[in-house]
Chains A and B, each alone.
Chain A
Amino acid sequence: MTDESYAAIMSQRAEIMRASIGIDYGRYVTGALSFDYERLLADTGYDLARARVVQRETAVGSTPLVELRNITELVRTVAPSGKGARIFVKDEAANPSGSFKDRRAALSIHEARRRGYAGVVAATSGNYGAAVASQAAKAGLRCIIVQEAFDSHGIAQPEIAEKTRACEAYGAEVIRLSVGPELFYVFLRVLQATGYFNASLYTPYSILGIETLGAEIAVQTREQTGRFPDVVIATHAGGGNVTGTARGLRKAGAVDTTVVAASVDLSGLHMASDHDFNRKSFTTGHTGFSIPFTTWPDRADVPRNAARPLRYLDRFVTVTQGEVFYITQVLAELEGLERGSAGNTSLVAAFALAQALDEDRIVVVQETEYTGAGKHPIAQLNLARRMGIEVRRGDPRDNKPGARIVIPEHPSQIAAVEVDLDPLRRSYLRHALTTLPQSAQVSDADIDFLAAETRTSRSYVMDRIGAARGGTA
């Protein structure tokens, strides 16, 4: 009889992972802390051209880049004279399952099939589940999606309920769980029992699949405007979106483009709390994922996360729940694009940041997502009211996650709150040092790695390590 207790399964984590991804991460270790990130990605064989070929086989990518002329005009009603950059959006909802997640799933499922796996498993409550199920359907692979779906009262988060429906529509088995991080335990048990491929959001395939998005943005923006984007804004959760997009922009030559991450501020809500689960009004693109994954990417369901946002972020901003619902309504009514709210997080940031840029500058919002029953501001705000959250018009600075959602009264109230990257870098370094084995020394390779990880210098890293060892960090 095999031991399926929590402790027993978690202790087998490493071997289950290795069998389910087929990558020996140990090959890429270069020091006590460091590993060869670029070689880990390159060894997959999916460069930009190859990724494009694979994605085209299932009609993924090549989505329209749409200029939001009316929203740009609205920005200019509140911006100083001569300011108000042109805003474009990459309409990723045009992908087969309705989001950019198809790009990530396409490479993962292609790889699973190439390696001869009979099926795929993904731990996701979001659009990625639908993307994996859609791709698996096309590839003829079995598919299991593990979701955190409902609270202890049996109340389902409506957006996740919609994703359950979508995954089942594509023929997937959906395991719906109540709230808690032990989802990972269930996920490991499923991988162990089935021998299926782990279509994690954080494998190299999943990140390389997004590079085509960054590259398309660079190319399409230049075709339509004669220049590369000045700013690209990506909704930021687990870090893959930012990482893949920034890499794709660079590969296409847009090396001077500023990459901005935007998250919905959910500070004060606990991500593993049964009570808070249905009081978030957002299931992704929020600080409950983006802060922990920025400060320690390797908390993921793979040994080494291929999404490493601090390497790529130029700026990181937060916006409020009420602002996102407001801009979602504006996008529908001024641009005729009814799209899901989580994807519009970066549109709020674009609206705010464009006001500081000259009118000839280009800001690109890097995604949209599909919308529908459950996955819509109306569904989220009705649930919020049912959970006792106040919904009102007012100053979005009064928004309080879990207690009050404030819809702006005027577009001039929209703002992007700057997140200082330095404390995040320090937090990353603290996390990294806690993984250092007792007997190990930090080598030159480790210092170089940590500098690249945090986009800082050797001296910055050495100062922080010194401070940590002196007990002052």
Chain B
Amino acid sequence: MPDVLGTGTWVEIHRVVLPAGERAPQVPADTAAVALEMRVKGFLLAPAALGDAAEIVTRAGRRLRGTVTEVNPAYTHSFGAPIPELSTVGEEVRTLLRKRGGRQ
């Protein structure tokens, strides 16, 4: 059984805004086939567990309801590995400048 998160815990909630089949008429087929989903973070207004329907208060002071999907959600975007196709560009252009300098 998941741990109960206390009131005031910083969480992310998830909600389906428009299910597949109820999307706007102009969206392409691949988008129409999936739901429009929403994720928002805030502080729990009452104890809840992951997967529960719960109410949060957002940083703008709004109360929103949804399913608790993450606790203290991490920022995981990063850089990743260097790109070899870019790693040699600097030396290439410096070489071109050195050659030009040598001619003058």
User: What residue of chain B has the Cβ atom nearest to residue A181's Cβ?
Assistant: B24
User: What residue of chain B has the Cβ atom nearest to residue A271's Cβ?
Assistant: B28
Beyond contacts A6-B24, A180-B36, A186-B17: 7 other A-B pairs, Cβ-Cβ < 8 A, are: A119-B60, A180-B24, A186-B36, A194-B60, A194-B62, A334-B97, A381-B85
- What B residues does A156 contact at CB under 8 A? 77
- What A residues does B28 contact at CB under 8 A? 270, 272-273
Interface code B42-53, partner A: CB below 8 Å = 1, 0 otherwise? 100000000000
- What A residues does B40 contact at CB under 8 A? 173-176
Interface pair A273/B30, CB less than 8 Å apart: yes
Complex partner residue of A379 from B24, B26, B79, CB under 8 angstroms: B79
A275 interfacial contact with B, CB 8 Å? yes
Q: Enumerate B1-35 residues with CB–CB distance to A below 8 Å.
A: 17-18, 22-24, 26-28, 30-31, 34-35
User: What residue of chain B has the Cβ atom nearest to residue A76's Cβ?
Assistant: B100
Q: Enumerate A136-166 residues with CB–CB distance to B below 8 Å.
A: 142-144, 149-150, 152, 156, 158, 161-162, 164-165
Interface pair A177/B37, CB less than 8 Å apart: yes
8 contacting pairs across A/B (C-beta < 8 A): A161-B77, A175-B39, A176-B38, A373-B78, A378-B80, A379-B80, A382-B83, A407-B85
Q: How many residues of B contact A (CB 8 A)?
A: 44
Q: How far is the CA of A407 from the CA of B38 in the complex (A)?
A: 36
**Chain A proximity of B72: nearest CB distance (Å):** 12
Interface pair B89/A329, CB less than 8 Å apart: yes
Interface code B70-89, partner A: CB below 8 Å = 1, 0 otherwise? 00000111111111011001
- What B residues does A274 contact at CB under 8 A? 30-31, 34
Interface code A161-190, partner B: CB below 8 Å = 1, 0 otherwise? 110110010011111111111100110000
- What B residues does A402 contact at CB under 8 A? none
- What B residues does A326 contact at CB under 8 A? 86, 89
Q: How far is the CA of A392 from the CA of B59 in the complex (A)?
A: 43
Query: Which of A143, A152, A180, A378: most chain B CB closer than 10 A?
Result: A180
User: What residue of chain A has the Cβ atom nearest to residue B82's Cβ?
Assistant: A378
Interface pair B27/A152, CB less than 8 Å apart: no
A444 interfacial contact with B, CB 8 Å? no
Q: How far is the CA of A6 from the CA of B23 in the complex (A)?
A: 8
**Chain B proximity of A185: nearest CB distance (Å):** 7
**Chain A proximity of B68: nearest CB distance (Å):** 15
Given contacts A178-B34, A182-B24, A274-B34, contact A173 B79 (CB under 8 A): no
Complex partner residue of B24 from A161, A185, A334, CB under 8 angstroms: A185
- What B residues does A193 contact at CB under 8 A? 62
Query: Which of B38, B59, B81, B100: most chain A CB closer than 10 A?
Result: B59
Complex partner residue of B60 from A142, A179, A275, A373, CB under 8 angstroms: A142
Interface pair A374/B78, CB less than 8 Å apart: yes
Complex partner residue of B38 from A172, A177, A325, A379, CB under 8 angstroms: A177
- What A residues does B89 contact at CB under 8 A? 326, 329-330, 333, 407
A393 interfacial contact with B, CB 8 Å? yes
- What A residues does B92 contact at CB under 8 A? 410
A339 interfacial contact with B, CB 8 Å? no
Q: How far is the CA of A314 from the CA of B31 in the complex (A)?
A: 37
Q: How far is the CA of A158 from the CA of B36 in the complex (A)?
A: 19
Q: How far is the CA of A238 from the CA of B40 in the complex (A)?
A: 26
A24 interfacial contact with B, CB 8 Å? no
Interface pair B86/A377, CB less than 8 Å apart: yes
